[in-house]
Amino acid sequence: MTHGTIAAKLISNLISGKENRYAELFKPSRFNAKSDAKNFTIKNADVAKEFVKGKLDRRDKKMEDLQSDEGAVVNFDGKRAGGFKDSAGKASLVDTTCTHMGCELNWNNGERSWDCPCHGSRFDPDGKVLEGPATKPLKKLS
């Protein structure tokens, strides 16, 4: 929505010959292959690092170790899983593999959500998508 408004303003300024302070920022030729390729490589190296780090992350904590109103990565049948116990003691266990591209999620205690370090998807304790790019919920394990 914002970019549509900016585009309309830029186009009307270009047609009428007025200066627009955002013209350089949105200029189609702003792509710099050398520096943009470097940034692209760095960002994707971070994603790859988080992907591998998550796959190697194993925890000793078990579901029964969780306190009331606590979430954590737990060991479930020797596999990494996401456990949460609400304040009433209801437990949920989800697969911590992000449904976007497979990175491993981490528990965000402040937001009470499963967060993906790769592209920022977020899921509620039961695995429902809160924010994309993921569109599918997490697989429930119990």
Decide: is 116 part of the binding site for ligand FES (CB under 6 A): yes
Binds ligand FES (CB under 6 A): choice among 100, 126, 129, 137: 100
- The piece of 21-29, 74-82, 83-91, 94-102 that touches ligand FES (CB under 6 A) is 94-102
Q: Which amino acid does the sequence have at 36?
A: D
Q: Please identify, among the stretches 28-36, 66-74, 87-95, 96-104, the one whose residues bind ligand FES according to the rule CB under 6 A.
A: 96-104
Q: H or E element: which one contains 134?
A: none
Report the first-to-last Cα separation within the chain, whole angstroms: 40
> How many CA atoms lie within 13 Å of 24's alpha carbon, on the beta-carbon side?
1
Instruction: Kindly state whether residue 94 participates in binding ligand FES, applying the rule CB under 6 A.
Output: no
Contact in structure between 138 and 94 (CB atoms under 8 Å): yes
81, 93, 94, 98: which one binds ligand FES (CB under 6 A): 98
For residue 104, the 8-state DSSP code is B
Alpha-carbon span 122 to 98, nearest angstrom: 9
Nearer to ligand FES, 73 or 98 (CB): 98
When binding is defined by CB under 6 A, the residue of 6, 101, 129, 130 that contacts ligand FES is: 101
C-alpha 130, offset from chain centre: 10
Q: Which residues bind ligand FES (CB under 6 A)?
A: 98, 100-103, 116, 118-121, 133-134
